[in-house]
Amino acid sequence: MDKTPPSTPKINYFPSFEEFSDGLLEFGVIKPFDGQPATVGNGGMVAFEARSRAQVKEVHAAALALGGQDEGAPGPRGENGADPYCAYFRDPEGNKFLVYRAGPDES
Q: pLDDT tens digits for 80-104?
A: 766 799 999 999 988 889 999 988 9
Q: What distance in Å separates the CA atoms of residue 43 and residue 30, rounded to the nearest whole number? A: 7
Percent of the chain with pLDDT over 90: 38
Instruction: Name the pLDDT band for 11 (thresholds 50, 70, 90).
Output: very low
Highest mean pLDDT among 14-23, 32-41, 96-105: 96-105
Which domains does the chain possess?
Answer: 1-30 (no CATH), 34-101 (3.10.180.10)
Q: Whole-prediction pTM value?
A: 0.68
Instruction: Name the pLDDT band for 13 (thresholds 50, 70, 90).
Output: very low
Contact 41, 90 (CB under 8 A): yes
